[in-house]
Structure 1
Amino acid sequence: MNDHDPLDRDRTVTETTPAPDTTMPMVVYALHLAGIITGGLTSLVGVVIAYVYRGKGPQWLDEHYRYQIRTFWIGLVYFAVSGLLTLVLIGFLTWLAAVVWLVIRCVKGFKGLQEQRAPDDVDTWLV
């Protein structure tokens, strides 16, 4: 008679399975943040990396890539609208709000990576 719990084997497998490499998602978040200084050039590189690595990891990691891709495209809209609004001087305030939005999303993403879970509210246009 086998006294072993069948879940013990599953626990052993998950305990010995190495954690997925989160280096590339961290790099993409850093590139998004650097985009504030580079005028979005590094964010463009970051979104290309996110598209390339999407679908190659566990579900929670793929959600980070999806979050990063959405951050790029939504940020592009926010910064483009801010650029247009600078003609009426309110664009400087909306640009500052877009920078704060970007920083908060990247910090939330970094936190989720450290906890090895998907970011909260991936589909939101807000933070």
Structure 2
Amino acid sequence: MTVKNHIARALPAERVAALIYLLYISGYFFGITALVGAVIALLYKKCPDEILATHFRHQLRICCWSLLWVGMGGLTVKLGLGYLVLTSWFIWSAWRIGQGLFKLAKYRPAT
């Protein structure tokens, strides 16, 4: 039995999706945990359960857009515009993570 099969038996995909959302939340304080969550989401994105697969794709989109906006905000901080960009990113990402957790709890697909 492969390592992936052992992990799949130990942690159901629904719990993994919730764990990734929690890693993203902790990423506000410790940035590396969000990247760990993104790697896990990448490994699980071809989940056979279509509803959970939408959550993994949703999590990857959150990570990609966050990298873009945090990078742009960081580059423009000296101009003063960066603070607006970073605040907007924080509100957007918190909303998307909360929305994903809510839909996961109701077992609905993420949008």
TM interval, shorter chain, is 0.7 to 0.9
Q: Could you tell me the TM-score, scaled by structure 2's length? A: 0.84
- Which whole-Å CA distance do the structure 2 matches of 1:21 and 1:53 have between them? 8
Q: Which runs of 4+ in 1 moved over 2 A?
A: none
Conserved? CA contact 1:33–1:102, under 8 Å: no
Structure 2 match to 1:4:
none
1:51-109 deviation per Cα after TM superposition (whole angstroms, max 9, x unaligned): 11222231010000000011101110010000011020121121111111110000000
> Which AA in structure 2 matches 1:29?
Y
- Which whole-Å CA distance do the structure 2 matches of 1:93 and 1:42 have between them? 24
Match of 2:67 among 67, 73, 76: 76
Structure with more helix by fraction: 2
Q: Which has the larger radius of gyration?
A: 1
Match of 2:29 among 37, 44, 52: 37
> Which AA in structure 2 matches 1:46?
G
- Which whole-Å CA distance do the structure 1 matches of 2:50 and 2:74 have between them? 36
Q: Which runs of 5+ in 2 are unaligned?
A: 1-11
Deviation at 1:118, TM superposition (A): 0.7
Q: Could you tell me the TM-score, scaled by structure 1's length? A: 0.74
> Which AA in structure 2 matches 1:110?
L
Match of 2:39 among 45, 48, 51: 48
Conserved? CA contact 1:60–1:117, under 8 Å: yes
Structure 2 match to 1:90:
81
Identical amino acids, percent of aligned pairs: 28
Q: Which runs of 5+ in 1 are unaligned?
A: 1-19, 121-127
Equivalent pairs, count: 100
- Which whole-Å CA distance do the structure 2 matches of 1:57 and 1:116 have between them? 15
